[in-house]
A and B are shown apart, each in its own frame.
Chain A
Amino acid sequence: MTSRIEPPAPLVVPPETVVPGRARGVPPVRREGPAKLTGAALYADDIVVPGAWYGATIRSTDAHARFVALDQDPAFDWSQVVLVTAADIPGDNIVSGIKADQPILVPIGGEIQHHAEPLALLAARDRATLRAARHAFHVRTRRLKPVFDPLVSTHEFASYTIGTGDVDAAMGAADLVLEGEYRVGHQEQLYIENNAMIAVPRDDGGVAVTGSLQCPYYVHSALKRGLGLDDRQAQVIQAETGGGFGGKEEYPSMIALHAALLSRKADRPVRMIYDRHEDIAATTKRHPAIVRHRTGVTADGRLLAQDIEVVMDGGAYCTLTPVVLSRGALHSGGPYRCPNVRIRARATRTNTPPNGAFRGFGAPQVEFAAETHLNRIAERLGISPLEIRRRNVYVLGDTTPTGQLLRESVAGEEVLERAAEAAEFEHLRRRHERERAQRGGSGTVPGSPLRTERTRLARGVGLALAWHGAGFTGSGEVKLASVVSIELTGEGRIRILTASTEMGQGTKTIFPQLAAEALGVPVDAIEMAPQDTAIVPDSGPTVASRTAMVVGGMVVSASRKLRARVEEATGGRFPDAYVPYARANGGVRVDERFEPYPNVSFDDETYRGDAYPAYGWAACVARVDVDLDTGEVHVRDVVAADDIGHVIHPVLAEGQVEGGTLQAIGYATIEEIKLRDGRYLNDRLATYIIPTSLDAPRISTILVEAPFSGAPHGAKGVGELPMDVGAPAVVAAIADATGAWIHELPASPERVLAAIAAVPAIAPLPPGASEPAAR
C-alpha cells in the first residue's frame, strides 16, 4: 500500500547558473589547481628521495600452480640486489581486508591462484641492475587445474537473497513475462598515473610510505598487520594522486607492503613505481557479472514480479567482493516499484587476478541489465521507454524490496523528465522510427543481408534511469565511526584535519568551502592539513561517494561547534572574534565523530531495512551513430540529469558527471579485457583503449537538488551516480538505430555486427571469459 507524499519541488539548477553554494560569490577555483597547471604538484614519482633504490615484483606466469622453487642464476652477482620472499615477512603474510585470504607474497611451496600473482620482490640501486636481476631468476612451478568460469566455480565469496511478496504467483498473473541474460566483463580504471609507492625506513623501526592512494588508513592497517607495527610506526602519506576511481582503494595496500618490505630489508628507501603494463596486468578491475532477469508485467507495462539472479566473478581472492555484490544485489531491480521481487546474488572465485572497486561498485553492472531488460519490455509492449519508466519509477512513499520506505529526497521522476525534455527524446525516437522503416537493409557490404544503396550510418537515441545508494551500505558508516577534526591554532589559523583524499574530485576545495560557510569566514582562511596518518584522524576511505555527503557533513558539524564555542566564550561573532581568541587562549580543536543518521536502520543478517540513508537519482539520454558496415558505434551526444542533493560547487559537480559519463561510454563501447588462460591479453594502452577526445560525446549536465535532511548541507554524493546510466542508454540507442539488442558489454563492432546480421559466430567470447591457450 503506497501513499503519495507531495514533495517540495526539487530545485533544478540551470546550466549557466553560478551557484555559490552559499559561500561567497563565485565558486572558488580549485585549491590545488595552480600547482597542477604549472607542473609544481608532486605525484609519487616526482618526489626525489636521495639514496632510494628501485623495487620490482617477480610475478607468476601461471593461473593456478604450486610454487615449487625460485632458482637464482649463480653467475649473477646477487650481492648487488636485495631479495624478499614470504619468509622475510615479519608480521602476517596477509593483505588485510574483509577475509584474510590474500597473501602479500606466495610462499615457496604455496599455491599460486592467479596470473601475475606476486611471488618475490627485488630491489637494486639502478634500473639496469634490476632488469638484469629479473632475468637471472627462474620460477619453477607445477601447474594445477584452473577454474575460469564463475558459473562453474563452487568456491563462493559471498551470497545474498533479497525478497518480498510472492514472485511465482505474481508471474502467473502477468500479461507478459520476459526473460533475458546480460553479461559484462572486466573494466580497468585506467587512472593516467600508475600505482606508485615510496617506502622510507623510520628511526623507530617503522616505515613511512608515501604514494598514490585513496585511503590512507586502509594502507596503515595493512602495514601494521604485515610488518607487525603499531599506529605510530606505520605512517602513510598521500602524494598528489593522478586518478583513482576505486582502483586505488584497496590495491595500494599491496604495493605499499611490497615497498615497505624491501625498504626494511635493504635498510634504505625503496621506490616502487609500476609501468602501465604491470599496472594493467596485476591490479584490480571491475567485477565481471552475469545477470539474469525474469520479469512479469501488466499489459500497460507495470512491474508485477522481478526474479533476478546475479553472479559476479571475484577473481582469485576475496578483496572487496562481498560489498560489491551487496550493492549490486540491492540495486539490481533498478529504481522501480515492484511488489514481488526475488534477488539471488552470489560471487565466486576464479583463477584470475582479484577484482575490486571501480566507480559504481556493482551498480553499473546490474543497472545495465535492469535498464536494458526494461527497455526490451517496453519495445515488446509497444510502450515508449520514457512512458514505461514514468509508470514504474519510485516516488515518495514507495517501499523498496528490503522494506525501506522512501520518505524524502526522491527525484527519479525529475531527472527522468529533465533529461528526456532536454534531449528531445520522444521527437528523436519518432524520427528514427521513420528512418528505420525507410531503410531496407543497411550498409554497403556486397552479398550480405545488410546490403543497400542507402545510408551507411543509422541514428539512434536511448534512455536509461538509475538510482545509487549514497554512502556505505547498511551499517557500514556506523561501523567505520569516522572522525574529522577542525583546529583553530594558537596563531589563529583554521585547519581541517581529515584522511579524505583529493584525487581530482575536489575534496581540497569543497571542504574549505563548507567550513568557511559555517564559520562565516572567507574560504582562503581555511587550510587543509596534509593527508598523513601522523597528523589526521581516520575519516574513513575516500570511496562510495561519501566524501561530500558523510565527511563533508561532519566538516559542517564540526565547524558549527567550533563557531559556537568561540562565540559563547567571547560573546562576539566568530569572524571578528576567532583570531584574538586563539592568540589569547591557545589552540582549540573540535573532533567530530560520525553520528548515525536519525531513523535509518538496517539488519545485516536479514538484509531488511534502510539499505542506504538516501539515494541519488540519474537519467541519461544518449544519441549514437551506428556504422552498419563496420558495427562501430559513435556516441554523439549525451544529456545527463543527476540529483545530488545539494550542489556545493557546480563546476566540480559537473566535472564528476562528465567524467563518470565518459567512463560509462567507454564501458559500453570500446573497453574490453580479453583473457587467455586466465591472463589479460589487453595489458597495454595500445590494446586496452579508453575514449579520446574524438570518441567522447558532447555531454550536457543538468544538476538537480533533492536534499537529504540527514546531512547538514543536504548533499548526497555525485561521483558514482553517472556511471550507472551511460551504458544502458547507449545500448538502447543502438537498438533504436538498428533494431538489434546487445546483451553484452562492450557493444564492440564485432558484437554489433553479429547482432544486426544475426550471425552469432562473428561475436567474440562472452565478456570475462578466458579462451584456452593455443596448444
Chain B
Amino acid sequence: MSGSRKLLIICGMLLALWGMGFGLYYALFVEHQVLDKLGGSLATSFTEGAKGDLIASHGSLQTYADTQFDYVRSVDVHSHWIGFAMLLIVLGVAFDHLGFRESRRLLLAWLLVVGSVTFPLGVILQTLDRGIIPRAIAALGACLVIIALAATVLGFARTERN
C-alpha cells in the first residue's frame, strides 16, 4: 500500500473516530440541555410577549439566537468531520488511480488531511470566539480541501488520458 493511501485511510479512520466521539460526547452531555434551552427560550420570549413584557421577551430571543448559533455549528462540525473522514477513506482507496507521482500524491493527501481537520476546527472555535481568527482557520481549511479536490479531479482525468 502506497504512503499516500495509507495516510488517507488511517487519517480518515482516526477522523471518523474523532467525529463520532465528539458526536457522542455532544449528544450525551450537551445536546439535550441545548435543545431544552433553544425551545425554552423561544417559547419564553413569546410567553413574555403575551404578558406584555417586551424587554424580557427580547432578552429571551437573544438567548435563543445565541444558542442557535452554537448548536448549528456544533452539529455541522460533527457531520463535517465524519463526512470528511468518509471522503478521505474513499479517496484513499482510489488514490492509486491518480495520474501523478507518489510524491505529488502524498502532498495532495496531506492537503486533504490538514484541510479536513482545520476547516471544522475553525467552525467549532467560532462557538468560543466570534472574531476573525476562527473564521480564518475555517477559510484556510476550506481552501486546502478545494485545492486538493480540484487536483484530485485532474489526477483522475490524467489517468484516463494516459
Are A and B a genuine interacting pair, yes or no?
Answer: no
Interface positions of B (Cβ within 8 A of A): none
Interface positions of A (Cβ within 8 A of B): none
